[in-house]
Amino acid sequence: MAERNRGLVGVVVGTVFATVAFLGPVAFLIGAQSRPDTLEGITDGPVPIVTEAGTRSVDTRAAATIALSWMDGPTLKSPGFDGRVTRIAVEGGDTIISGDIILAVDGIDRIALATPEPMVRTLDRGDKGPDVEWLQGYLTEAGFFAEDITGTYGYRTDRAVKAWRTSLGDPDPSGVFLPQLILWLPGEPFVVDAMLVAVDDVAPGVGSPVVTSPSSLSTALVGVREGQTVPVSGDLVFAPSEGDTIALSRGLAVIDLGSVAASLAVSAEVESVDGFVTATSSMEVATVPTSAVIADGTGGVCVWKVDGDGFSVFPVELARATAGVAFVGAGVEPGDNVLVNPIEILDEWACR
């Protein structure tokens, strides 16, 4: 009887252990399913990251090209010579002023003469007009005429012209003024680029170019390359890789066109020069992580600053950017609290 009871107890105890062994994992699973699926202190989704804008002194510059357009310089033209060239009196690099000898045709010198308009009339006694005044003025400066300038071609003008023609080497001079003795000088000083005739050439006909001057710069346009940012403060200059800097307006217009060719040390064969648009002095800018700056595809560039319990958008101008750091020329001040991860935090991040 006692043995039967011990056997019954063993069966009951075994059954209990088996039940516990089966129900234990089930209870654990039920308990696990009833608990939250996050740990205490850890939240779902991204967290706003805010940083304080720093400051940096930077030299900003933008890669650019200056495009050059040229126009031909003035030319001394033949009044209609007859004969052969027997002497050349000027060459490239010379400077011509009124009264200078340019060349000789058949042994008679021909001079450059600066007058308001070309002198095309043959002048003789009794003629009147402004061209007579211009002739008398030149003869006075050259020392051939000592009378009042009246604009009337009289005896004394006749005598002065005869003496002047003698000085040119005319073997049979008269007192008649011949326009073939001069080349009209449109302005002075006239810098010679090239003499287009040579000794023993047939003298050029009416209107043919005889002496040329260097081409002059007509326009110089500065263009910043795509993706480059012009410095937002300070006086601007174009800095070529070689040569002197060229002063620019804020709109990138060249301030002194006349100085450009000399500053760049270029001639008319050059159509463009590469360089940089830069400010003449360093500027203090705010720095923020590049992830804080958004370009929204519509031309807007902005950041979000802390505003109470939220964030407000502010347009900015970038002065420069390097790996991980954006240099902000306007829109952010050093010390501003800026949202570092706006794309992760904001539902909309258009710069508006």
User: At 34, is the pLDDT very low, low, confident or very high (cuts 50, 70, 90)?
Assistant: very low
Q: What is the pLDDT of residue 267?
A: 84
Could you read off the pLDDT of 45-99 as tens digits, one per residue? 789 899 988 887 776 788 999 999 999 999 999 999 999 999 999 999 999 999 9
Does position 36 have pLDDT exceeding 60, yes or no?
no
User: At 11, is the pLDDT very low, low, confident or very high (cuts 50, 70, 90)?
Assistant: very low
Closest CA to 220 of 185, 268, 180: 268
How many angstroms separate the CA atoms of 58 and 74, rounded?
A: 46
List Cβ neighbours of 151 (8 Å cut-off, separation of 6 or more): 128, 129, 130, 132, 133, 136
Does position 12 have pLDDT exceeding 80, yes or no?
no
Alpha helices, DSSP H, located in the chain = 2-34, 130-141, 155-167, 260-264, 342-345
Residue 319 exposed, middle or buried by CB count within 10 Å (0-12, 13-18, 19+)? buried
How many angstroms separate the CA atoms of 187 and 190, rounded?
A: 6
Q: What is the pLDDT of residue 59?
A: 67
Could you read off the pLDDT of 196-247 as tens digits, one per residue? 999 999 999 999 999 999 998 999 999 999 888 787 667 899 999 888 999 9
How many angstroms separate the CA atoms of 202 and 212, rounded?
A: 18
User: Is-contact 86 199, C-beta < 8 A?
Assistant: yes
How many angstroms separate the CA atoms of 283 and 57, rounded?
A: 5
How many angstroms separate the CA atoms of 236 and 340, rounded?
A: 32
Mean pLDDT for 283-308 is: 85
Q: What is the residue type of 314?
A: F
List Cβ neighbours of 25 (8 Å cut-off, separation of 6 or more): none
How many angstroms separate the CA atoms of 268 and 261, rounded?
A: 9
As a whole number of Å, the end-to-end CA separation of the chain is 95
Please provide residue 173's backbone torsions phi and psi, each rounded to the nearest 5 degrees: -75, 150
User: At 177, is the pLDDT very low, low, confident or very high (cuts 50, 70, 90)?
Assistant: very high
Question: How far, in Å, are 77, 185, 205 from residue 210 at the CA level?
Answer: 5, 12, 10
